[in-house]
Amino acid sequence: MPDSRVTLRLQNVTKVYGVGDAAVTALDSVDFSAQAGEVVMVMGPSGAGKTTFLTIAGALLRPTSGTIEIAGTDITGLKEKDLPAVRREKVGFIFQSFNLLESLTALENVRLVMTDITPRSATNRARELLNMLGLSRRLKSLPKNLSGGEKQRVAIARALANNPDLILADEPTANLDSARGQEVMQLLRQIALDLGQSVVIVSHDHRIREVTHRVLWLEDGRFRADVITARDAVCGQMVEVEGAPTVSFNGMSYYFCAEQCLKLFEAAPRRYVEANKG
Ligand SMILES: Nc1ncnc2c1ncn2[C@@H]1O[C@H](COP(=O)(O)OP(=O)(O)OP(=O)(O)O)[C@@H](O)[C@H]1O
Ligand SMILES: [Mg+2]
């Protein structure tokens, strides 16, 4: 279950594109934080600001105002030249379009991002990750010869390569069929829990709500508090946080569908926190 280490914190973040009459406020005073081991999903209509939120969270885009902290580093005041190192060491991106290099094999695409270790170590780690993702027989394939699901898994291996604190995914299941989409999400959840990373996913795909710890709704550049949902650690249902019975344990808030689940949790919190690791 998530622990109290915060891997991503946005405070009062606003992003305005353009100026004057053409100005668009894509994010409007947004606050957000994610804890280690947590899988958070951000949903919302087209144009709500989801991609803007994710690219700012990953230090790919500067906000107009507000502060951003990634795995303990306040990046707000960092110089442009210092941002690539933060991205490389702390953040893994999974883009909808995968962004694989077409002239490189699966193995090379993953190996490429590991610049801080020897080539031999990078190759070994890339192979290990691809094996873990079920691609041991596709190491030498070029992206054009891989299926959508396989490319997605190469992109995930690449995102994990530098063991980032934070994984950001924009519509990660958009190109996958239902079963593959579920599989990819289960995998991301397992990785987050095992390695203590946070996964923040932007998606329209209601099916992946099931594997997330929290779902937030972004609309017109703001998180709408009234529809925030979380998973009941006892019965597994998604519940609306607003007005739900709640308890704090080890620095985390837990929400329940009813008092009965809350009572069960309070009687043996560790049991439910442990059970949710699976
Ligand atoms: N580079 C840009 N210049 C100007 N406006 C932009 C730019 N990028 C995004 N916008 C605007 O900011 C708003 C938020 O865009 P964003 O891409 O973050 O939305 P989104 O929630 O990801 O949408 P979708 O679900 O369609 O991907 C939109 O109104 C969009 O038109
Ligand atoms: Mg988008």
DSSP string covering 105-128, please?
A: -HHHHHHTT--SS-HHHHHHHHHH
**Domain of residue 11, CATH code:** 3.40.50.300
At residue 98, the pLDDT reads: 80
Residue among 24, 30, 170 whose CB has most ligand 1 atoms within 8 A, to mutate: 24
Q: Which of 77, 184, 95 is nearest to 132 (CA)?
A: 184
Per-residue pLDDT 10s for the chain (278 aa) are: 445 688 999 999 999 999 999 999 999 999 999 998 899 999 888 899 999 999 999 999 999 999 999 999 999 989 999 999 999 899 999 987 788 999 999 999 999 999 889 999 999 999 999 998 889 999 999 999 999 888 988 999 999 999 999 999 998 887 777 777 777 788 888 888 888 889 999 987 777 777 888 889 898 999 987 567 788 889 988 887 777 898 888 767 788 999 999 999 999 999 888 776 54
Other CB atoms closer than 10 Å to residue 270's CB: what's the count?
Answer: 10
Q: Determine, yes or no, domain membership for 140.
A: no
Q: For residue 28, which phi and psi values (nearest 5 degrees)?
A: -125, 95
SS3 52: helix
Q: Is 70 in the pocket of ligand 1 (CB under 6 A)?
A: no
At residue 276, the pLDDT reads: 65
According to DSSP, the β-strands at 246-249 and 252-255 are antiparallel
Q: Determine, yes or no, domain membership for 189.
A: yes
Would you say 76 and 67 are in contact if contact means Cβ atoms under 8 Å apart?
yes
At residue 226, the pLDDT reads: 59
Q: Determine, yes or no, domain membership for 184.
A: yes
Give the largest Cα separation in the chain, rounded.
58
Cα-to-centroid distance, 221 and ligand 1 (Å) = 10
Which residue owns the Cα nearest ligand 1 atom 12? 26
Which residue owns the Cα nearest ligand 1 atom 4? 17
Which residue owns the Cα nearest ligand 1 atom 2? 17
At residue 134, the pLDDT reads: 87
Cα-to-centroid distance, 55 and ligand 2 (Å) = 10
At residue 278, the pLDDT reads: 46
* 90 Cβ neighbours under 8 A, 6+ residues apart: 70, 71, 73, 164, 165, 166
- Counting from 1 in the atom list of ligand 1, the atom nearest the Cα of 202 is 22
Q: Cα–Cα–Cα angle for 55, 1, 134, nearest 5°?
A: 70
Q: Is 49 in the pocket of ligand 1 (CB under 6 A)?
A: yes
Q: Is 37 in the pocket of ligand 1 (CB under 6 A)?
A: no
Q: Which of 218, 232, 237 is nearest to 265 (CA)?
A: 232
Q: Determine, yes or no, domain membership for 145.
A: no
Residue among 46, 51, 64, 217 whose CB has most ligand 1 atoms within 8 A, to mutate: 51
Would you say 44 and 218 are in contact if contact means Cβ atoms under 8 Å apart?
yes
Sign of CA dihedral 164, 170, 191, 261: positive
> How far apart are alpha carbons 98 and 232 in whole angstroms?
33
Q: Determine, yes or no, domain membership for 38.
A: yes
> How far apart are alpha carbons 258 and 260 in whole angstroms?
5
Q: Is 85 in the pocket of ligand 1 (CB under 6 A)?
A: no
Q: Determine, yes or no, domain membership for 93.
A: yes
Give this prediction's pTM: 0.81
Cα-to-centroid distance, 61 and ligand 1 (Å) = 13
At residue 159, the pLDDT reads: 93
At residue 1, the pLDDT reads: 46
Q: Determine, yes or no, domain membership for 78.
A: yes
Q: For residue 140, which phi and psi values (nearest 5 degrees)?
A: -100, 5
Would you say 148 and 117 are in contact if contact means Cβ atoms under 8 Å apart?
no
Cα-to-centroid distance, 233 and ligand 2 (Å) = 30
SS3 218: strand
Sign of CA dihedral 246, 207, 40, 213: positive
Domain with 193, as residue range(s), is 6-102+165-227
> How far apart are alpha carbons 27 and 221 in whole angstroms?
4
Please name every residue paired with 222 in a beta bridge, in sequence order, or none if there are none: 219
According to DSSP, the β-strands at 73-74 and 91-94 are unpaired
Q: Is 27 in the pocket of ligand 1 (CB under 6 A)?
A: no
Cα-to-centroid distance, 203 and ligand 2 (Å) = 8
Cα-to-centroid distance, 24 and ligand 2 (Å) = 15
How many structural domains is the chain composed of? Answer: 1
> How far apart are alpha carbons 163 and 147 in whole angstroms?
25
Residue among 30, 41, 52 whose CB has most ligand 1 atoms within 8 A, to mutate: 52
Q: Determine, yes or no, domain membership for 201.
A: yes
SS3 225: helix
